[in-house]
Structure 1
């Protein structure tokens, strides 16, 4: 194949993956990244020996990640993965607790401590989640989503039962109520909608494939954090000969010869473009509802308190919490997620100190420019309120932390918006409704030779799926370049 010029706009995980794979096929690839470092939302903060991820904090589908590095001839660069056991500790507003394990019977035993009948609920829930994975999840990830016809053909290969099951999917909350009697485990199931910035009361039960994936393939920590994975991916891309231009905000436009890509006033010609940015604006869909954003605190804690690696502290009323968030308000009683990576990986913090990532869901900024400006200014007050809520909940569940925590960093929806996320939404498109996941913007852009990668496009958010979007984008770009030669 003739050596062609390829531009990748954005140096997140999806863009890096696409750039490396396209360069490996012999093309001249230039990656433009507006920031000073690679990684997009998957960055890390280092502070006096403390390391904390500022974006994603866990890894699932490890073989997909290993396969990506193998495709880049870079397995030697890959940091070790540590499978977590237990996977996550859950605490509820009434003091009850539940722990999720990879082993189904250990999870069922923990659920039985809430109510004995919930042991059967755990088994039946995960059994149905596995069926949903086989019927819809596997075909969704097999190939780029180009329309329902191709997807349904892949589903049909699993049999008529898979098609029928897919057409009957309720909401994720309805699925939780079907299998569990306690509000505790209904909240546990509902949490997985937030992996896509959605509400369990509006999102499809298809999101139950996420807890199935965690149980079937494990929840993993990358030694050194997700930031170490990004660094390794950057090294792999350099090894393939990609030209990386940091601190360059590139635009792209199509002309008769192909594409012009680069900073305003000095764009260069390219044959195809992969854009590692949310595609809603390009698809002229930016006025639609957005998925949730988030507010993150990065904390330094004196000593080494016995905090689990992953903990979720639920609010008391999920229905009210999601109603408030999707009305554009901070929740009055939010669910708080915290990650203590040094519980597993001593390299993340020096002796005698602990780093903790703490996050609450937050509404995205309004799409209207003037309203967004007002909301951005209001975040100074919102941040103080959210901090108070987070510290109150941490003190409630972990009183030993009182007086031992210091904020070393934070991330608001305004920060995410400045990185290019529409309205500061982490995932962009809001996948509510039975067919919500299938309305996600596609990888193939609106003009020949334009492709998208990242959490805002198919197949969605999370490190492995973003890598998969980069692989799909590279495959589709290669097919386009073959037709052009």
Structure 2
């Protein structure tokens, strides 16, 4: 009996996971990656001895990641993780601060310094966030989303209380207002909408499950960065026999013969395959190109002389959060942007040499326009936009960390234009924009419209972030395997 053949298009974390799991089951797997390196948006660079991720910088749900490597038989390749007791430092426009710890009581004490009543708000918020996760998050993550009937059946197994909790969900902003009195703490809650490229004033309160996950399962750093995790995945899939083709821009088309499989490969090199997993944003394939996109981002990488004290993760908030999102979703860079800063050297001395550190900085940015002419003009404008945004970021950084003044050197940058060149629609980090109460349920599904076609990655269910993208790859592999069993029969 011939081995069933699977093509995986795209070598991001979702595609690598799917490829490895399918190969582990004995299928003949070829992975096509249009770029020169694996990882998709999860890239890393090393400049003058300083290593920095240019994509995701945080790892949550470590058990899911370890479980994936275990299924791949690759625990020996998995880099070690470090759990951060101090998960993130938040600085606000008026100079106030908040430190979030894994231990919720310590977070509550920090919040009480803003206003005494916020101490109670922290406990009540995390309690509701956990209830949201149990009622909606767990059933959303435990199986591929194939429709509301299956999802509601999983919710119903958790009792009528879970069903009622889901029906009562408001926006993330409204949830924050129920628990907190200060704009500071409301900004803190609203920030988690940006994990999906959304606005807290339009996104569902269901996204409160994200801070619950960070509190319950921890915020972790991968030794060597997320880039080291990608490298380990690449080694794992090659060891399992996956054929990896870099610099190979593959296309796929349905084939009416040969059992209704697909022809896949670069132009002029297509070969027959029984199934395809596409690790790329699925909106175009689903004819949903006109839907609004989630936010993009602008990244600046810095070298800093010396070893100044900068937290591993810090968020430097704007003065007017609502205005910031109005500008971003109005197609403009924020006039007063919130800046995210990551200093991996605070935890991992392998990321930079003695006497220097590297910093990753990022602000949200609107996606590029859809029309080719407008997109071209927007791409040209980014040369000026980047300088403006970079100046704002450096100024904000020096305001909150004055010890950095005169010690910073720019190593590189990544704009929405760069993301678009990698295949992200409009440079959008997550593609689909999950606004509205039922936004998460409109996310593109893993199962494609034709038999044997599946999607993986941050643009499909269950969403973005390293562990969820891994989960999408795992789901895609399971669904493809089920299809291939029918083919073999």
Partner residue in 2 for 1:252: 252
Partner residue in 2 for 1:129: 129
What is the DSSP-based 3-state SS (H/G/I as helix, E as strand, rest coil) of the residue aligned with 1:403? coil
Partner residue in 2 for 1:448: 451
Partner residue in 1 for 2:327: 324
Spell out the pairing of 1:195-344 with structure 2 (5 A cutoff): 195-256=195-256, 257=258, 258-344=261-347
Question: For the residues of structure 1 that align with 2:269 and 2:45, how far apart are their CA atoms?
Answer: 33
Deviation at 1:322, TM superposition (A): 0.2
Change (3 A) 1:481 1:404: same
Partner residue in 1 for 2:375: 372
Question: For the residues of structure 2 that align with 1:2 and 1:300, how far apart are their CA atoms?
Answer: 54
Deviation at 1:402, TM superposition (A): 1.2
Partner residue in 2 for 1:389: 392
Spell out the pairing of 1:385-464 with structure 2 (5 A cutoff): 385-464=388-467
Spell out the pairing of 1:353-368 with structure 2 (5 A cutoff): 353-368=356-371
Confirm whether residue 47 of structure 1 aligns to residue 84 of structure 2. no
Question: For the residues of structure 2 that align with 1:103 and 1:348, how far apart are their CA atoms?
Answer: 27
What is the DSSP-based 3-state SS (H/G/I as helix, E as strand, rest coil) of the residue aligned with 2:86? coil
Confirm whether residue 183 of structure 1 aligns to residue 186 of structure 2. no
Deviation at 1:317, TM superposition (A): 0.4
Partner residue in 2 for 1:165: 165
Deviation at 1:266, TM superposition (A): 1.4
Question: For the residues of structure 2 that align with 1:78 and 1:286, how far apart are their CA atoms?
Answer: 37
Deviation at 1:392, TM superposition (A): 1.0
What is the DSSP-based 3-state SS (H/G/I as helix, E as strand, rest coil) of the residue aligned with 1:296? strand
Question: For the residues of structure 2 that align with 1:402 and 1:168, how far apart are their CA atoms?
Answer: 48
RMSD of aligned alpha carbons:
0.7
Partner residue in 2 for 1:72: 72
Q: Deviations over 1:41-68 (max 9, x none)?
A: 0010011211000000010000000000
Normalising by structure 2, report the TM-score.
Answer: 0.99
Q: Deviations over 1:234-269 (max 9, x none)?
A: 011011100000111101111113101111111111
What is the DSSP-based 3-state SS (H/G/I as helix, E as strand, rest coil) of the residue aligned with 1:346? coil
Unaligned 5+ residue runs, structure 2? Answer: none
Unaligned 5+ residue runs, structure 1? Answer: none
Question: For the residues of structure 2 that align with 1:132 and 1:446, how far apart are their CA atoms?
Answer: 31
Partner residue in 2 for 1:142: 142
Question: For the residues of structure 2 that align with 1:106 and 1:11, how far apart are their CA atoms?
Answer: 40
Which of 460, 476, 479 is equivalent to 1:476? 479
Mean CA deviation greater in 312-321 or 253-262: 253-262
What is the DSSP-based 3-state SS (H/G/I as helix, E as strand, rest coil) of the residue aligned with 2:67? helix
Question: For the residues of structure 2 that align with 1:429 and 1:169, how far apart are their CA atoms?
Answer: 20
Q: Deviations over 1:318-372 (max 9, x none)?
A: 1000000000000010000000000000000000010000000000001111111
Question: For the residues of structure 2 that align with 1:155 and 1:107, how far apart are their CA atoms?
Answer: 30
Partner residue in 2 for 1:19: 19
Deviation at 1:2, TM superposition (A): 5.3
Would you say how many aligned residue pairs link Structure 1 and Structure 2? 485
What is the DSSP-based 3-state SS (H/G/I as helix, E as strand, rest coil) of the residue aligned with 2:121? helix
Mean CA deviation greater in 345-354 or 395-404: 395-404
Question: For the residues of structure 2 that align with 1:62 and 1:479, how far apart are their CA atoms?
Answer: 27
What is the DSSP-based 3-state SS (H/G/I as helix, E as strand, rest coil) of the residue aligned with 1:355? strand
What is the DSSP-based 3-state SS (H/G/I as helix, E as strand, rest coil) of the residue aligned with 2:23? helix
What is the DSSP-based 3-state SS (H/G/I as helix, E as strand, rest coil) of the residue aligned with 1:408? strand
Q: Deviations over 1:56-87 (max 9, x none)?
A: 00100000000000000001110000001200
Question: For the residues of structure 2 that align with 1:422 and 1:199, how far apart are their CA atoms?
Answer: 19
Confirm whether residue 7 of structure 1 aligns to residue 7 of structure 2. yes
Question: For the residues of structure 2 that align with 1:172 and 1:128, how far apart are their CA atoms?
Answer: 12
Q: Deviations over 1:86-123 (max 9, x none)?
A: 00000000000000001010000000000010010000
Confirm whether residue 352 of structure 1 aligns to residue 355 of structure 2. yes
Deviation at 1:398, TM superposition (A): 1.0
Q: Deviations over 1:6-65 (max 9, x none)?
A: 000000000000000000111110000011110000010011211000000010000000
Question: For the residues of structure 2 that align with 1:359 and 1:48, how far apart are their CA atoms?
Answer: 21
Question: For the residues of structure 2 that align with 1:264 and 1:228, how far apart are their CA atoms?
Answer: 32
Question: For the residues of structure 2 that align with 1:345 and 1:444, how far apart are their CA atoms?
Answer: 39
Question: For the residues of structure 2 that align with 1:263 and 1:40, how far apart are their CA atoms?
Answer: 18
